[in-house]
Amino acid sequence: MSDTTTNPKNHQLIDRVVIRFAGDSGDGMQLAGDRFTTSSALLGNDLATFPDFPAEIRAPAGTLAGVSAFQVHISDHTISTPGDAPNVLVAMNPAALRANLASLPQGATIIVNTDAFDERSLTKAGYEADPLSDDSLTAFTVYEVPMTSITTQSSKDLGVKPRDAERSKNFFALGLISWLYTRPVEPTLAWIAEKYAGKELVLESNLRAFKAGYNFGETAELFESNYEVKPAVLEPGEYTNITGNTATAWGLIAASIQSGLPLFLGTYPITPASDILHELSKHKQFGVRTFQAEDEISGIGAALGAAFGGALGVTTTSGPGVDLKSEMMGLAVSLELPLLIIDVQRGGPSTGLPTKTEQADLLHAMYGRHGESPLPIIAAGTPSQCFDATIEAARIAIKYRTPVILLTDGYLANGTEPWKLPAIEDLPSIDPAFATGPNHTEDDGTESFWPFLRDETTLARPWAPPGLAGLEHRIGGLEKADGSGNVSYDGANHERMTRLRAAKIAGIASDIPPTDVDHEDGAEVLVIGWGSTYGAIAAGVQRTRARGHKVDQVHLTHLNPFPADLGDVLKRYRRVLVPEVNLGQLSRLLRAEFLVDAVSLTQVSGIPFRAAAMEQAILSLIDELAAEADGEGSR
Amino acid sequence: MTDVSNAVPVPLTTRKDWSSDQEVRWCPGCGDYSILAAVQMLMPDLGVRRENTVFLSGIGCAARFPYYMSTYGMHSIHGRAPAIATGLATTRPDLDVWVVTGDGDALSIGGNHLIHALRRNVNITILMFNNQIYGLTKGQYSPTSEMAKVTKSTPFGSLEQPFNPLSVALGAEATFVARTHDMDRKHMMETFRRAHEHKGASFVEIYQNCNVFNDGAFEGITGKDHRADMLISLVHGEPIRFGSESQFGVVMQRDGSVEVAEVAAVGEDALLIHDERKDNPGLAFQLSRLSRGPYEPTPIGVFRDVERPEYGQQMAEQIDTATERRGQGDFAALLRSGSSWNVE
């Protein structure tokens, strides 16, 4: 392989590019995209990724339903989204082309695997005519590459069966794109060697396919030039590329270390949350216990049992699993024990869209239990923020003896971004502050332990795991007498306990940071969001500012309670825009809580917002205000 | 938490030390009283500490049990106590975890948790009060009610084949399965003691009389006048024999089924020898089905008591192994376990 500097072709510097690898579910597009991402990360680009795949493990081959795609946005400057539209589409078959064509802007580059464009595959994809031979792609730059046959050819002398040899074609595509964007080759070769160690034939076939792809780019008289995206200027430090689910798992381990509580995860496999279980189950040397329960209910039940015993009890789930856990969350609210419920949201209702993202569980998190049963809600805005959000959720759960719901979603779970590794000494320490002795003197002078005698400031009750003599106590889902914790059916006591539980959660507002406003003097429009819309909102705000307009941004981490000053912040603006991947859940909460006339911007198409849509929505509000001002001026 | 207390000998206690100050609120005459008494009287003999003992329950009449023990306890939600117990027992191997449940709690709404806790062999002792009726909701049929039972919710008779709780437990790979009844405190205490001794999940079915909604359900076998001829006491290593004159025994047929026979007719050598330790649960299963209901001679005692690694202990061993191989968790190293790079 020759050094790129001797390449006779043009070499162009570009500031950013969005590439979408698309193929059949079994084509290995996620792997190719993921590896391209790692190469780019190691090179120092800023990046964001968006894996997009079907719920079926092997959907019917060659069909639109079976298309699996991985979009990566690499840049020489800070970016916050995986890109609205791909500049480059790698289409491994006709279905991949057809499924993604609508999202391509004019002038985009399409690299197709021509070997897959036979009549049968075209029919399966719903093409009546071959799009490569009619005029349907004239708006794009199309490169036709016989990927399958070159891949097969490259390993012919190894004696690999053609069907097996074909399977390396994702490495051909990876090699080709690596050449096209001047990615370093050696780390990827080393990675292939490590990943397929022990499977010599597969290893060699993949290496050859990758090299064939790279060399094809360089030598074939097809590409006029290749491109380079220089490293981004990121804050100095050590970085890794991380998914939201990994960041969540690591956040749990960090919370366990920082609190000194052993970590217990009780969970049931469910897309897209399972990777948290997979990641944690690998790290038992941290004293982590992972329990794959018989169902969602048992997962959270076991976590609550572990919490009763003094562990950091956690359950992870998504969509339908949250419904099933509701009853146990109610018990945790009533028992006032620390518990983390991590909901990696997906499209609903019911089974819905298991692999597609949505943030439609906010109102469920808020109100989805019978009775008055408030609990704190935390949400992460980016994949790496899942780490801090998890620690914050654990902090609140432990300090206030309460179940806490952490909301992430499928987009955060599987998406990646470079993450500056935290300094361990900067992580907050969390004091479990277990009860150490009796806290009450009975009328007869004996010392006793009252499990529901609250801390005056936090209103938290003492946490007394079994093991200490003199602190034996019974708690349960029946209403408890204020203080003693004994069963009480008294109406006045229930009223007091209900208000105390609500006041305890509401009081957390004084223990969280005030609203963090990305502010410009003179802005009259505020965009406020939560969860995974952060990137799209930030990009939309930046674009609007680049046009010379003023707009502010708030992104909430704490959704219950809200920051204490949020109401005052909202009232400073003439327009408040609330973009959400649901039908308007935060906007309802803001309206109800603060009587603000929030404008809701919603989308539930299983994909994140596009920055362009965000920009457009902001601009229309700015236009509206300008029109109002004009109207006033002409009077 | 346990280091200090384990250094000093277990204090001598009496039943009173194990009774909480809460007024017991079961209906007067309920069988639950005698079960509570049996447990409270047994505890001082077990050599365990109150602070290391936890009673967990779900919902139902039986589920009030933890409030009456002066140990740690939790009255949780319907059917879920085995799940909660699993989390507690696996994270706190130093604790004695008891689950008190009923036939509706364990076999209806909580059936899934019960069978999986048994299968995993979680170190818990499950006491299932079987009164063959829903008491707390005032008299609907339960999953152990007999067919054709007329109740508030089945005025024309129940259409459902009942569960045989011991057959369910044995089918769920339980390592300890026993039955006792609320009319015999001594037998209860001995059975509970054995269940507590067993490492792993123990399942005890207790025939319990609900004198309000299903009075006398077990009278035909547990009544003082009927016991000798209707209860078959299982003793490990002994021929299975019963009757006021020991005139009856249990024999195995050529087709593998077991049945009651007159000793005089079959001869002593034909009697089945009870073996709790048999790895294969087949014989225990046969015994569990010897009686079709509490109107035929019914075996009580320990049906099965075999050793199998306990779940929480195995989980702890995996942690130990991982720590031995990789050393104590190093968070800084974990952060760098993927590809990391430096930005200057």
Same domain assignment for residues A302 and A420: yes
Residues of B within 8 A of A285 (CB-CB) are 319, 322-323, 325-329
The whole-angstrom separation of Cα A122 and Cα A62 is 9
pLDDT attached to residue B7: 66
- What is the pLDDT confidence band of residue A633, given thresholds at 50, 70 and 90? low
* pLDDT category of residue A635 using cuts at 50, 70 and 90: low
Residue A278 shares a structural domain with residue A332: yes
Rounded to 5°, the CA angle A604-A606-A610 comes to 80
Domain end among A489, A511, A533: A511
Radius of gyration of chain B (CA): 23
* One domain, residues A187 and A303: no
Q: Tens digit of pLDDT for each residue in A20-42?
A: 999 998 899 999 999 999 999 98
Domain CATH number, residue A361: 3.40.50.970
Query: Chain A residue closest to B59 (CA)?
Result: A477
Do A316 and A417 lie in a common domain? yes
Encoded tokens for A554: 């708030």
Q: Does A39 fall in a domain?
A: yes
- Report whether pLDDT(B110) > 80: yes
So what's the pLDDT on residue A163? Answer: 87
CB A432: neighbour CB atoms within 10 A?
15
Q: Please give the pLDDT value at position A398.
A: 98
Residues of A in contact with B77 (CB under 8 A): 327-328, 330-331, 477
Query: Are A417 and A362 found together in one domain?
Result: yes
* pLDDT tens figures, A85-130: 999 999 999 999 999 999 999 999 999 999 999 999 999 999 999 9
Pair A525, A488 in one domain: no
Evaluate whether residue A234 is within a structural domain.
Answer: no
Of the candidates A488, A414, A417, A505, the one whose C-alpha atom is nearest the C-alpha of residue A454 is A505
Within 8 A of A254 by CB-CB distance, chain B residues are 331
> Of A239, A246, A305, which is closest to B86 when you measure between CB atoms?
A305
Q: Please name the member of A42, A253, A286 whose beta carbon is closest to the beta carbon of B341.
A: A42
* DSSP β-ladder status, B258-262 and B248-252: antiparallel
Average pLDDT over residues B240-246: 97
In a domain, A107, yes or no: yes
Mean pLDDT value across chain A: 95
Percent of chain B with pLDDT over 90: 95
Structural domain contains residue A154: yes
In total, how many domains does chain A have? 4
Contact A41 B20 (CB under 8 A): no
* pLDDT surpasses 60 at A372: yes
| A2: in domain | no
Mean per-residue pLDDT, A587-606: 97
Radius of gyration over every alpha carbon of chain A, rounded to an integer in angstroms: 27
pLDDT digits (tens, 9 = 90+) for B247-263: 999 999 999 899 999 99
Choose the closest CB to A295 out of B22, B77, B112. B112
**Assign residue A44 a region: left if phi > 0, alpha if psi is -120 to 50, beta otherwise?**
left
Chain A CA closest to residue B328: A285
Q: Which of A155-164, A220-229, B324-333 has the highest mean pLDDT?
A: B324-333
Each residue of A402-445: pLDDT tens digit?
A: 999 999 999 999 999 999 999 999 999 999 999 999 999 999 99
Nearest to A302 among B67, B83, B336 (CB): B83
Is A285 in Cβ contact with B2 (below 8 Å)?
A: no
Q: What is the pLDDT of residues A495-516, one digit of tens each?
A: 999 999 999 999 999 999 999 9
Contact in structure between B91 and A311 (CB atoms under 8 Å): yes
Q: What is the pLDDT of residue A1?
A: 46
DSSP designation for A563: P
Tell me, yes or no, whether A472 lies in a domain.
Answer: yes
Q: Are the C-beta atoms of A384 and A417 separated by less than 8 Å?
A: yes
Altogether, the residues listed in chain B come to a count of: 344
- Residue A36, helix vs strand vs coil: helix
- For the segment B111-121, the average pLDDT, to the nearest whole number, is 98
pLDDT band at A10; cut points 50, 70, 90: confident
Looking at CA atoms only, how far is residue B339 from chain A in angstroms? Answer: 6
Judge: A422–B335 Cβ closer than 8 Å, yes or no.
yes
Q: Which of A477, A511, A545 is the last residue of a domain?
A: A511
Q: How far is B67 from chain A (nearest CA, A)?
A: 6
Residue A142 has pLDDT above 90, yes or no: yes
HEC readout, chain B: CCHHHHHCCCCCCCHHHHECCCCCCCCCCCCHHHHHHHHHHHHHHCCCCHHHEEEEECCCCHHHHHHHECCEEEECCCCCHHHHHHHHHHHCCCCEEEEEEEHHHHHHHCHHHHHHHHHHCCCCEEEEEECCCECCCCCECCCCCCCCCCECCECCCCCCCCCCHHHHHHHCCCCEEEEEECCCHHHHHHHHHHHHHCCCCEEEEEECCECCCECCCCHHHHCCCCHHHHEEECCCCCECEECCCCCEEEEECCCCCEEEEEHHHHCHHHECECCCCCCCCHHHHHHHCCCCCCCCCEEEEEEEECCCCCHHHHHHHHHHHHHHHHCCCCHHHHHCCCCEEEEC
Beta bridge partners of B304: B177
CA distance B314 to chain A (A): 11
Q: What residue of B is the nearest CA neighbor of A479?
A: B75
How many CA within 13 A on the CB side of residue B97?
A: 32
User: Cis bond leading into A349, ω under 30°?
Assistant: yes
Q: Which is more confidently placed, A221 or A145?
A: A145
Could you read off the pLDDT of A383-398 as tens digits, one per residue?
A: 999 999 999 999 999 9
**Are A354 and A468 contained in the same domain?**
no
Is the CB of A309 less than 8 angstroms away from the CB of B88?
yes
Minimal CA separation from A37 to chain B, in Å: 11
Structure tokens at B112: 């899934």
Judging contacts by C-beta atoms under 8 Å, the chain A residues touching residue B76 are 301, 304, 331, 476-477
**What pLDDT band is residue B2 in, cutting at 50, 70 and 90?**
very low
Residues of A in contact with B72 (CB under 8 A): 466, 472-474
* ipTM entry: 0.97
Q: Do B341 and A238 touch (CB under 8 A)?
A: yes
Q: Are residues A505 and A522 in the same domain?
A: no
B191 pLDDT higher than 80: yes
Co-location of A579 and A611 in the same domain: yes
Q: Indicate if A68 and A216 belong to the same structural domain.
A: yes
Are residues A605 and A502 both part of a single domain? no
Among A482, A511, A540, give the residue marking a domain's end. Answer: A511
Cβ-contact A341, A325 below 8 angstroms: yes
Closest residue by Cα to residue A187 from B334, B343, B337, B339? B339
Measured between CA atoms, the residue of chain B closest to residue A436 is B1
Question: Which residues in chain A have their CB less than 8 angstroms from residue B53's CB?
Answer: 466
Enumerate the β-bridge partners of residue B73.
A474, B55
pLDDT per residue as tens digits for the range A301-344: 999 999 999 999 999 999 999 999 999 999 999 999 999 999 99
CB contact under 8 A, B91 and A283: no
Q: Which of B70, B80, B340 sits opposite A472 (nearest CB)?
A: B70
Residue B209 near residue B131 (C-beta atoms within 8 A) = yes
Is A234–B328 a contact, with Cβ atoms under 8 angstroms apart? no
Residues of B in contact with A477 (CB under 8 A): 59, 75-77
Query: Which CA distances in Å does B68 have to A619, B77, B97?
Result: 66, 17, 16
Q: Residue A571, Cα to own-chain centre: how many angstroms? A: 30
Is residue B280's pLDDT more than 50? yes
For the cut 50, the answer to whether the pLDDT of residue A137 exceeds it is yes
Find the mean pLDDT for residues A518-544. Answer: 96
Q: Does residue A381 belong to any structural domain of this protein?
A: yes
Domain of A611: which CATH number? 3.40.50.920
Q: What percentage of chain A has pLDDT greater than the value 70? A: 98
Cβ-defined contact of A476 to B75 (cutoff 8 Å): yes
Cross-chain Cβ contact A302/B50 below 8 Å:
no
Report pLDDT for A53: 87
Could you tell me the CATH number of the domain that includes residue A145? 3.40.920.10
Kindly state whether residues A75 and A142 are assigned to the same domain. yes
In order, the DSSP letters of A315-368 are EEE-HHHHHHHHHHHHHHHHHT--EEEEEEE-B-STT-BTTS-----HHHHHH-
**What does the pLDDT average to over A537-547?**
95
Percent of chain B with pLDDT over 70: 98
The answer to whether the Cβ–Cβ distance between A305 and B342 falls below 8 Å is no
Q: Is residue A142 part of a domain?
A: yes
Domain of residue A319, residue span = 240-426
